[in-house]
Chains A and B, each alone.
Chain A
Amino acid sequence: METADTVIVGGGVIGCATAYYLAGRGLRVVLCERRALAAEASGANAGMVGASGGLPGRTLLHTRKSIELLAQAEEELGQPIEFVRGGRFMLAHSPAQWTAVQDFAATRRREGIDVELLSGPDARRLEPLLGPSVVGAAHAPGDGHVNPFLLTHAYAAAAKRHGAEIRTGVTVTALDMSGGRVSGVRTQTGGIAAATVVLAAGAWSAELMARLGVSLPVRPGRGQMLVTDVLPPLSRRVLRAPALGIRQDVRGHLLIGSTVEDVGFDRGVTLPTLARFCQVAAGIMPVLRTARILRAWSGFRPMTPDSLAIIDTVPGATGLVLATGHSRSGVSYGPVTGWLVAQLVADGKTQLPLTPFRLDRFAAPAAISAAAGSRTGSVTDGHTHH
């Protein structure tokens, strides 16, 4: 049986970023992706990133580190990723939304993230194409957007240059366990023995864990999106209203979305939802009315109950690291997740606390039963808690 230091399950942005950082630490990494890199949620999103998107009091530290790492990645990876740091507007179109936007600005500023409040007229001075119904906006100048396909592939290519093997079309069918330790993975083409397995399979992570008797609280959340034909440059900013996000890519296409729907793995798109996107988008930016839609699609976000990722070891399964459940923010947290998981695996501790991402924060304890593997002597809990 072939061996590796670490097997990574999943070739999305999380898996590929982890492969990059781990291979950079000199570990022998094999990444197994059942379809293709960025074939799922990592290839279905609008690429919005930024420090302001974290959860106040919990993960703003992480989102800020993540965008710093992303800015560095552009240079380090040596391939274009189309990272545009043009800022984000959180738009308010009603008094209630304006209150929420003020709170957004205050909570971020309190933790050192630059967010300013703009009145409607001031917002439109900076973004002249905003519709007349805008009441105000919170402006986070440090946020931005990136091409998630290019980012995922760039991480993978750089990981390969550091000796990692990136295998697509390889389905991991099971995680191998022996005496409370993970011993590798099984695929349709044979097994790979490894001391560490990182599970970064997004909405499909729960399936693999279920086979170990662990109930992982990650469910598919379908998100619909549409893309328009190329338009002249309208804005470099990410525009977010509570129900909709809009951003323009470097070629001029606009990405508009999204939803979170509990429909299992149904890949369809629905007309009323897409029509509502168009109605709301036209209110946000009236010139978009005549933009032509080229494509609509859906993707499955790995949703957790609190929309925060699960980055943790698993009691009773030494050597298994979960890096999944990134809900709606996988691209934003991708860089810092890879960076932290590499530390967890290589050093046994992380430079930022993983407290917000612990598996045991969920009500129902999720651990390998005593029958399946030893739970007691797990010396390697893995990381220190700050």
Chain B
Amino acid sequence: MAERSRSVIVCRCENVTIGEIADVLEVGARTFDEIKRVTRAGMGICQGRTCECVVTDLLVEDGRVAPEEIVSRSVRPPVRPITLEVLAASEPDAPRLPDEA
């Protein structure tokens, strides 16, 4: 990758640059989740919705992962951010946790 493009931001939520992603590809990261654990790309408020495309492009461009071997990022609830009080209120009869006295 061109030196001048290393500072381009890929994950806007966590300010992760092309350079940081290139560096973890060098040491073996091959999936979005692996890149995420170390660079934090995808840990912000959009949870990778915005940056997954670019990260995938970088992976394919890098060449060490064939396009058909690309693994999507793991998606987890909630679909969009939800406050604790809203989630708490959604299950007023939620049973106590086992360790609650």
Give chain A's interface residues, CB within 8 Å of chain B: 36-39, 43, 93-94, 96-97, 149-150, 153, 157, 166, 168-169, 228-229, 242-244, 253, 259-260, 269, 271-282, 288-297
Contact = CB atoms under 8 A, between A and B. Distances in A.
B77 interface: yes
Contact of A269 (B28, B43, B77, B97): B77
Contacts of B87: 274-275, 278, 293
A276 B82 contact: no
B interface, over-half SS: loop
Contacts of B91: 271-272, 275-276
B97 A276 contact: yes
Contacts of A260: 98
A326 to B, nearest CB: 19
Interface of B: 27-31, 33-34, 37-38, 43-45, 47, 76-78, 81-85, 87-88, 90-91, 94-101
Contacts of B99: 242-243
A228 to B, nearest CB: 7
B38 A276 contact: no
Contacts, number: 111
Contacts of B43: 253, 294
A290 B95 contact: no
A290 B86 CA distance: 9
A153 B28 CA distance: 11
Given A229-B45, A243-B97, A293-B81, 14 more contacts: A36-B30, A96-B101, A153-B37, A153-B38, A273-B94, A276-B97, A278-B87, A289-B84, A291-B84, A293-B84, A293-B87, A294-B43, A295-B47, A295-B78
A321 B29 CA distance: 28
Contacts of B33: 36, 39
Contact of A294 (B45, B90, B101): B45
A282 B88 contact: yes
A295 B76 contact: yes
A291 B83 contact: yes
Contacts of A157: 27
B90 A169 contact: no
